[in-house]
Chains A and B, each alone.
Chain A
Amino acid sequence: MDQITLTGQIVQYAITGLTVGSIYALVAIGFNIIYNVTEIINFAQGEFVMLGGLFMVFFSTVLGLPILPAFGLTIGVVVAIGIMMERFAIFPAKDASVLTTIIITIACSILLKGAAMYGWGKDPFALPPFTDCKPFLVLGAALFPQSMWVFGTTLVVVFVLTLFFKRTRFGRAMIASSDNPEAAQLMGIDVKTMVMVSFGLSAAIGAIAGIVITPISLMEYDRGALLGLKGFGAAVLGGLGHFPGAVIAGFVVGLMESFCAGLLSSGYKDAAALLVLLLALFLKPSGLFGSREVLRMKRF
């Protein structure tokens, strides 16, 4: 019997936690983009992840396309769905309160889930890993190549997004439209377009998360809700609207889950992650990195 050492176990839990945490982080970022521009929480964010995974299965397994074109097409389709959702469901209700709009996103989430069930059926689907090789062994723990893909993709997405929002005119215009829509409009920013772009961008990030996680976890039509919930937890923990906060909080939630499953009891895994969230909100309601002043200015 080759039993694994305690160090090996801890490394394994860390790897698992960071992999799952990356996905939570990506979902949380998706929440933040839309929140930053519109102040609404898009509860269909998890469905974008599910759609990303399932469309990737469709393009790469069913149509047999190579990974890169399938990747591009998947993101294209999911972005189109995100934009359509904004055009046909969110935009017509532009005078409604933030809370009403949030409820509309819940309706969209149910609709997308139902459509996916109709289109793909209820069975889970698998996707081959991007690079097919044996897991590496780190201190007795197994590191799957796909985990590295997940991790790497998250870092690239965060880096590119930070550049986009900090350095480009368009990104800064998006931030401006959220801070003060009227002022932004007066400065010549087309706020309506910004809202639409924010949905497209969130959908793209959700799709990326779905594509990279499917080889590890499989994907089926009703996976979105739970991922969305965990991602929302990470977004709140990190401070709504705060990108580095979302990433760190995503990792914290993922690590909490995997260490709790490994060292305490796997039955309490989900409770542990939510407990951290509750504690953090109790002690610092604006989230780990959010600021109280910014929070006070928001409507929701």
Chain B
Amino acid sequence: MCKQRSFVVWAMGFALWMVVAGLLGVFAAPDAQAKEPYKIGAIFSVTGGASFLGEPEKKTAEMIAEWVNAEGGINGHPLELIIYDDETDPTKCNVAMKKLISQDQVPVIIGPSTSGTSMAVVGVADKDQVPLISCAAAKTIVLPVEERHWVFKVAGSDIHVSQRIFDHMKSKGISKVAVMTASDAFGASGREELLAFAPQYGIEIVADERYGPKDTDLTAQLTKIKGTAAQAVVNWSIGPTQVLAVKNWRALGMDNLPLYQSHGFGSRKNIELCGKDAEGVLCPLARVNIGRLLADDHAQKKVIMKYTEAYEKKYNEPISSFGGHAWDAMYIAVKALETVGPDRTKIRGFVENLTGFVGQHGVFKFSAVDHNGLSKDDLEMVVVKNGDWAIAR
């Protein structure tokens, strides 16, 4: 009995040893052909408050790294993607950034995911002279451009969104507009841009309402708007309040005042939550969200459909516009490594002069004064029709 058991233990131990030895052998086998790997560093908020950004970003970046290596790497160099999770914490993001620069010695860094974490590291990028391609939206990430020599971003700005909304209103002859925004950072930034650009478009803001991001009811704000001369309503928030805005707007019978939402509304989940109340709601979206609606000859159609289909197949979940940021940042970094090699200064120069890069969020045209490279034309105005997006006329 006892003898038998010890035999089993020995056998298992031996088997384990064989496996470990085998694995070591595989990895340790020197490959005379392999060139030294090219590194890309990445910082995403995979967990914590902004995990809904970081998670699809990480998945997208990993998918692209697999593709690049499956196709033989970058000019024969295998791609090594080093991802750190900052847990949506600016301090941890800062630590990860320094680790990537001094320990991993990467030539280029993509991310972070949020504006808050990005602002915590733009100074490091400039001081240590490492090109950083942020996936977050705030315009201060790349402005003023003299202080952001080494920093780029691939997410559009609120400026573009508000310009796109006003463009559409103007084409419909709307000149008096009511604005309602959430009192968090997202809503406040949108409000600032809307109020700043309205005069340029000859649009008068007749109501400027704010509400808390956790409010349970917006009928008071909408009733007040109903009492003004407004011809349209813009709501700028994320989370449940943008669904409440739609529901209350419909319940108060305000169908004759078109409701524009910010790009924050760009998730099918929101249409589901609003149900049939969402019909006719307008919002400007990056084209990555609506790949299937684009005309076949659209410049971005091919690249967006490639991403949409591959991501949905691999991860069995719909793409999000956030993953699209990681796609853009990742391919810009890969392209830079391919063209100029792993040299920080050369990569910075390459990205700054990159124009006509067709990505998920637009056709990027970087320049010495524009480290974002997107414009309002990279957004498409869409309308909810039969429970899905349709391109608005």
Contact = CB atoms under 8 A, between A and B. Distances in A.
Of the candidates B209, B216, B229, the one having the most CB atoms from chain A within 10 angstroms of its own CB is B216
B220 A12 contact: yes
Given A122-B52, A216-B217, A267 B210 contact: yes
Interface string A30-46: 00000000000000000
A20 interface: yes
Interface stretch (A1-9, A97-105, A289-297): A1-9
Contacts of B220: 12-13, 16-17, 257-259, 261-262, 266, 269
Contact of A261 (B211, B216, B269, B273): B211
Nearest to A257: B220
Given A6-B227, A226-B214, A12 B240 contact: no
B251 interface: yes
Contacts of B219: 12, 15-16, 142, 258
Q: Which 9 A-B pairs have the closest CB atoms?
A: A217-B216, A124-B240, A261-B220, A12-B223, A267-B210, A262-B220, A4-B226, A218-B240, A258-B220
A8 B273 CA distance: 29
A19 to B, nearest CB: 7
A20 B221 CA distance: 14
B198 interface: no
Interface string B237-254: 001100110000001110
Interface in B144-169: none
Contacts of B212: 226, 269-270
A142 B250 CA distance: 10
Interface of B: 52, 180, 183, 209-212, 214, 216-217, 219-221, 223-224, 226-229, 231, 239-240, 243-244, 251-253, 256, 269, 273, 275
Given A23-B216, A226-B214, A261 B227 contact: no
For chain A, the bracket of interface size reads 35 or more
A124 B239 contact: yes
A95 interface: no
A144 interface: yes
A4 B223 contact: yes
A220 interface: yes
Nearest to B243: A218
Interface in A88-126: 122-126
Given A265-B210, A267-B183, A144 B251 contact: yes
B207 to A, nearest CB: 10
Contact of A126 (B243, B252, B253): B243
A1 B256 contact: yes
A138 B251 CA distance: 13
Contacts of A270: 212
A196 interface: no
Given A262-B220, A266-B220, A217 B240 contact: yes
Contacts of A125: 273
A72 interface: no
The secondary structure that dominates the B interface is mixed
Contacts of A126: 243, 273, 275
Contact of B223 (A1, A2, A13): A13
A20 B251 contact: no
Contact of B229 (A1, A23, A222, A259): A1
Contacts of A123: 269
Contact of A217 (B211, B244, B256): B244
Interface of A: 1-4, 6, 8-9, 12-13, 15-17, 19-20, 23, 122-126, 135, 141-142, 144, 213, 216-218, 220, 222-223, 226-227, 257-259, 261-263, 265-267, 269-270
Contacts of B253: 135, 142
A148 to B, nearest CB: 13
Name the residue in B183, B227, B229, B275 with the highest tally of chain A Cβ atoms < 10 Å from its Cβ: B227
Given A124-B240, A126-B273, A126-B275, A266 B210 contact: yes
Contacts of A226: 212, 214
Contacts of A1: 229, 231, 256
A228 B121 CA distance: 37
A70 to B, nearest CB: 19
B217 A16 contact: yes
B221 A261 contact: yes
Nearest to B230: A1
Contacts of B209: 261, 265-266
Contacts of A222: 214
B181 to A, nearest CB: 10
A125 B272 CA distance: 10
For A6, A15, A266, the residue with the greatest tally of chain B CB atoms inside 10 Å of its CB is A266
A20 B217 contact: yes
A213 B214 CA distance: 14
